[in-house]
Structure formats: C-alpha cells, structure tokens
Structure 1
C-alpha cells in the first residue's frame, strides 16, 4: 500500500452541482412538390461534488500533485479542498495562508479530515479477488480510492458493474485527463470520481473543460423564431457533410451559419424520404466557410472539422448534447442562399448557404405553418418561419469577444 500513498499533496475540487459543506477561496491568485417531414415533439464533510447532467450522477475529482502551479491553477478556479500526507501538514498550513482551504490527510490507508474522521478507504485492485474485497467492504465509509495497477478499460467497467446499487463513491487514480474521461464514461454510468495524478497544469485545464461540457449535456440554448426574407440560387461551392459517431433523432441537427451572430438549426438526414435512405448520423451542413457551434460556447469553421473533434447537437427545443465527428466529406455541389430576420431586430439579416437538395432541411419554429417540421430547402418559401440561434458576432479563434465588427 505504501506505493499507492502519495508523497505529495492531493487536491480535491468541485464542478457544477449541489454542494455540501465545502469552502471556496474568496479571491483569485493571480418533387418540387412542397414536401414536409413531420415529427412529435455522494458526499462527506469538506468534499464537493459535481453533477452529471446525462445521468444526474454526482461526480468528483481529486488531484494528486507536487506542483504549486497546479494548485494555483486550481485555486484560481475556485477549487480549494486539499488532501495531504501527515508529513505535508506544514505545506497544508503554507497553502492555507494563501487561500481558505479545507485540508484532509492520508493516514493508515485512509483519508481523514481535520477531526480524524475517516472519509475514504484506499485499495489496490489488480485481480477479480481484490475486486471482490471491494464489494464485500462493510466499513461505513462513503468513499473508496482504487489504484488499477495495470490500467485498462475492462477493470474500470468491472468496478462500475460491481458498485451499482451501493452508496459508495469510488475514485480511480488516473495519470492523464484522457484516462480520467474513460473512468467517467465506463459503461455509460462511469465511476463517481477520479484522482488525477499529474504535475501538468494542462491536464487540469483539459479535465475541467471535459467536465464543463459534460455538465452542459441536456442543458438548453435559446432559439429564436426568424422569418425567411430571401432565397436565391447562387451556383456551385464546396459543401461539408458532417458524419457523427452518434445517431440523431427527428428535430435534431447542427447550428450553422455564414455569420457567428446567427446560426440556423440544420436538420440531420435521420428522416426517411423518397430520395435517399435515412442517414441519422449525418448533417449536410453547408459550405466550407460557414460557422458551426462546438462545445464551450465556441464556433468552428466547417472546413476545420475532422474525425475526433466534437460538435453540438441541438434539437428544436434548444436541448444540447455533444457528439464526436467520425468523418467529414467535402464535395462540390449546387448551393442555395437563405436569409432571415427576427421580429426583435428587423435591421439585422442572418444568412446561410446550403446544398440545394431535398434531403437538406431547416427546422421550422413553433407556431408557424410547419410547427415542429423539418422543411427541405427546396420547399422553402418567403415568409416561412425557422429556428435561429442569435449570439455575439465578433469571434477570435472561435471564441466570442467584445469588439466592433461589420459583416455582410
């Protein structure tokens, strides 16, 4: 067990969710026929938890580090519960003089709070027999930290299966942010927490970014009703089909637009038609110059997308989720320009170019003639009402910024 116990402090921090009695740092350290597709619409003293939106499951992260810059990066983001070995009580005092901390300590194979109440057990697991010991644990401690000595995906899945129905939160020690993500996603449910063993600040940023995206799963974006004001055939261009590693349902698609200030909800090819078989993994999204919404409130050019990157899937109610790109196809096809305006701002025009094909559709707004309907671009009429995501137009590397900008 000595090999498992850290020779440096461990930091625990919290993401979005219902908090317990944690204390946060109070300051920062430094047919040309009109076609329509219709569809219906854990937790102990001094520990903080975050909530998984997809499973309503509370997630926790502890960080094992000996690097002060890692601690600094964490505290600057409001993460302030630390765990120390007894030999590092002086360091705990030093860091507590910088920010308001809630220190916990590793002693005798467990983790204890300042009142010497055990808050977690520690286990090494490298065999089914050791996993069984975890299942048979009767001590009433709500947290268990496990070290998978020969890390791989299957043991993580076995642990998730073994602890289903129990009230314990199991943490797995991870050496990278990618490993931590696997533990959070094993058998979809995932472990309740990870211990990220790192001296790399970037690993902190990566895992934070991942959990922020995870917490946004199922949250809603505001979509605005807009009215079609112009439809025009414009000739040939290079358009992008985005094929995802996830299946989409009726009403779902990608947010795409010529300007970041207004993104149109472009429907997936999940609906059956007379022209082609359903491809529920695909969105025929538009030409290479167009913006597409990606996680973190950012945009990307369609031309920048590639296998392994992520985009936001959004439905007609604004509910969002993240999907991984499996393939991108760029081909030359005839394009159609669609422009729209909102009732709130009749002076601003929003536009998108799309392939002029019956399988490419925009989603109508609730209350229009085509309520909850995907309207093929070949059937669009002036005055049709479609859904739009209105946001800030100025962007730098896909990030919204505040500056004067004119686009037309």
Structure 2
C-alpha cells in the first residue's frame, strides 16, 4: 500500500505486492496488517524526546516513562535517578537497552517520501513519522486510513502539545501515539490535561434520583441556549443548576416535535446565573460560556464526553422554577428553565412512551428526575472546602 499526494493532499493507493521503503538512504521494512483489533480500542502511546530533566520529571509524574535519547550517557544518567524505559536513536532507527531495533523513523517532507510508507512487511513493531513539510493534517489522516486494522504502532513526532492533538485526532481515531519532542514542561502538562479531558469513554458520573417538589411559573429572565459543535443523542444533555451542589441533567433539543424541527446540537440550558458542568470537575456560569469553550455532555447512565461550544444565545424568555428533593435525603435542589415544550429534564428510566425526558411544561410534583450531587463551595468554578450557605 502506498500513499501519494499532490500539493500535499494525500490519497491512498493499494499496491499488489509489498515493498521495502527507502528513506534518506536507510532501507527498512515496515510491519503491519494482520490484526482485527481497532486502533481506537488501544491506549494512545506517548514517548518523550527531551534533554531537559524537568521535562523528564514532569512526564514521569504523569505516567509517561518511555524516553528517547541521542546520548547513551544521558540515558544511563536518567535511568539511575528515575525508573524509565530508555530508547536510543541511531540515525533513522530506534533501539532499546538490549540493542534490539524496535522502531524506524521516516522523515517526510515531500509527497514522494510519503509514498514510501506502507504497512505490508513485518520486521519492526513501530514506525515513527517525522513530518518536515508544511502539511500535517491531510498526510496524517491518510496514514490513519492506510494503517487501520493493523497491529503495531504508528507514532508522529510532535514539537508541542497542540501539534500532538492534531495527530491524535486525525480522522477522529487518530494515530496510535506521538513522540513529544519538547524542552518545556508546560507541553507535558498541557498534553496530560488534554488526555484527562478526553478520557470520557471510561468515565462515569454518579447520578442521583430526585423527586420534583415544586413547579412554579416565575416570570421573565435571560436564558441561555448552548449550541455545541457536536450532535447529541436522546438521553444526553448538560448538567445545570442554580447551585453547584446539585445539578439537573437538562436534555438536548434532539427530540422531534410537531411544532419545531429537532436541534440535536442545542441545549436550552437555563438563565445566565446558573452553573454548568465543564471538564476537570469544574463549573462555569452559563453567562461565561462562549465559542471555543468546552462543556461535558452526560447521558442517562452518567457516561460523559467533552464537547466544544459553537455558539451561545442569550434571550429574554418566560421561566419556570423547579425544585426537587433527593430521594431518601433532605437536600433540595433548584433550577430555572424556559417555559417551553422543547425544554426537558432527563428521567431515571424510560417512560411508557420510550422517552427519556419530561418536558418542563408537563412536569408535576412527584415526578422523578436525575441530578448530580457534588460539593457546593466554589471559587472561580473550582470546588473548595469551606463553609457555605446557598438558598
């Protein structure tokens, strides 16, 4: 399989027989296809390439212990102070401590060099791609397409955390990993924060049943519609509440109605003063959201993912005050929402109609809804331990 491009835009071409790649005078065979495992199912690989001991320390503290060295002396020195997995670069090849070749480096600065990368042979477990040209995104996407369903690891050299994200998100599933070649520990911190925000597939929030105790029409207020750059499915929404200690799961407008088209990217979330859950266990006021910020989308089972805010609309609309008490507890939580049929709260279980949410216009005392309990005291959206009374 070869990859070629015109003006940097790459396409995939299937060849009938394997070849040996030749890059910068170095001949090698690149392993690959034979496994049915999906690349998106495996954990992303991170190797760190640095000569800065602070970067090494920051990486080890965040769980990354594989380092690339051009000097065996430096690798030996660092191995004596921290438990790391040292790898050594020799030309366009990478060896471990036992001098076994475990990877090859392909320097790609032209379409012709990109053509030579192919997943047909089986001599090395890893291929490292060092993109030297101006194009990165399209060639990376074609590498992902070419190597999908193949065993082994394809990594790209990244010189900062932002560049790393490009490679990790190419064609959604991304490359298998990256080599972060940096001398600034801030890039280590930013990359770890990125992984923490994106680790939603295995993350689950504890949601609690609460019983509606009050439904009251209260008048006009400035409410916020949050339009995301992602689609939401039935049963998904945003965590919003008047108090951070108890936030309601407000459903998206993905459900069909007789009066208005479905808008699966939108949550009519509540008034400007309300809290909304964002990544990192933090909250923002709805009034603080703007294009480019991130929120967490949560489903009926507590599974969550991050989403980017595309647009925020603030308009004056009639509001309803809803209060609910935790089942089996004394805590009362409240939320204001627009008085409209398209605004709904997510319920613990599907109703007889198969719907997972109840419109606020149909809510009545005694109905059950889902809330997220958490610490109430906040400073700039961060939970803190202090005495606080909210009412």
Q: 2:364 aligns with which of 350, 372, 381?
A: 381
Cross-structure match for 2:382: 399
- Secondary structure (helix, strand or coil) at the match of 2:116 reads helix
Is the CA contact 1:369–1:384 (under 8 Å) kept in the aligned structure 2? no
Q: 1:80 aligns with which of 65, 70, 77?
A: 65
Mapping for residues 300-339 of structure 1, pairs under 5 Å: 300-339=284-323
- Secondary structure (helix, strand or coil) at the match of 2:194 reads helix
Give yes or no for the alignment of 1:103 onto 2:86: yes
Name the CA distance, whole Å, in 2 between partners of 1:145 and 1:130: 14
Cross-structure match for 1:21: none
- Secondary structure (helix, strand or coil) at the match of 1:387 reads strand
Deviation of 1:369 after TM superposition, in Å, equals 7.7
Name the CA distance, whole Å, in 2 between partners of 1:400 and 1:229: 27
Is the CA contact 1:394–1:403 (under 8 Å) kept in the aligned structure 2? yes
Deviations 1:272-326 (A, max 9, x none): 1133211111000011111111122221111111111111111112121111111
Name the CA distance, whole Å, in 2 between partners of 1:365 and 1:137: 50
Cross-structure match for 1:116: 99
Give yes or no for the alignment of 1:134 onto 2:134: no
Unaligned runs of 5+ in 2: 1-22, 25-30, 32-36
Deviation of 1:342 after TM superposition, in Å, equals 1.1
Name the CA distance, whole Å, in 1 between partners of 2:281 and 2:79: 34
Is the CA contact 1:368–1:385 (under 8 Å) kept in the aligned structure 2? no
- Secondary structure (helix, strand or coil) at the match of 2:51 reads coil
Is the CA contact 2:158–2:181 (under 8 Å) kept in the aligned structure 1? yes
Is the CA contact 2:49–2:69 (under 8 Å) kept in the aligned structure 1? no
Name the CA distance, whole Å, in 1 between partners of 2:245 and 2:88: 50
Cross-structure match for 1:254: 238
Name the CA distance, whole Å, in 1 between partners of 2:246 and 2:179: 40
Mapping for residues 5-404 of structure 1, pairs under 5 Å: 55-85=40-70, 88-135=71-118, 138-150=121-133, 151-217=135-201, 219-345=203-329, 347-366=330-349, 372-404=355-387
Deviation of 1:58 after TM superposition, in Å, equals 2.5
Tell me the C-alpha RMSD between the 2 structures: 2.3
Name the CA distance, whole Å, in 1 between partners of 2:350 and 2:178: 46
Name the CA distance, whole Å, in 2 between partners of 1:403 and 1:309: 28
Deviations 1:47-90 (A, max 9, x none): xxxx99x93232111222232221222222233222211xx323
Deviation of 1:160 after TM superposition, in Å, equals 1.0
Name the CA distance, whole Å, in 2 between partners of 1:356 and 1:61: 49
- TM-score scaled by length of structure 1: 0.82
Give aligned pairs, total. 357
